[in-house]
Amino acid sequence: MATESEVVSKVQALESGEILLALASGGGASYQHVYRAARGVYWRGDLGGFVSSGRKEWTYAKWFAHIVAICSDELGVELELADNAQFVGLSDQQQAEILAHKSRGVNGRVDR
C-alpha cells in the first residue's frame, strides 16, 4: 500500500523509445532503488522521474500504467497525473490512451 504520493507533471517519449514520468517534486533519493524489482522501471535523477526500460511491444499507455503500479507496489509511492501535465513527444492518440487510464479511477494500474 502506498504511503507517499507524487504528482507526475510531465509524460515524455524519449528519443530512445522509453517513456519518462517526471515528478513535480523532482523525486527522492530512495527512488533509485526501484530497479531492484527487476520489472523494467528505473529512476533517472537527472530527469527527475521514472523511465521504462524500453518500449518493446508495449504502448506508452501500458508503460505508464506499469510504472504507476511498480512505484506503488515496490516503493509505496502513489503517482498521480497532474491535471495540467505536459505531454512531450506523444501523439494525441497516445495522450488520450494515458488519460483514459486516469479517468478509470484505477490510477493507471495495469493487470500483470
Kindly give the interhelix angle for 92-103 and 60-70, rounded to the nearest 10 degrees: 40
| Statement: residue 52 has pLDDT above 70 | yes
Q: What is the spatial distance between Cα 86 and Cα 102, in angstroms, rounded to a whole number? A: 15
Mean pLDDT, residues 85-107 taken together: 84
Percent of the chain whose predicted confidence (pLDDT) is above 70: 87
Mean pLDDT, residues 37-63 taken together: 89
| Statement: residue 105 has pLDDT above 70 | no
Mean pLDDT, residues 63-92 taken together: 94
- The reported pTM is 0.88
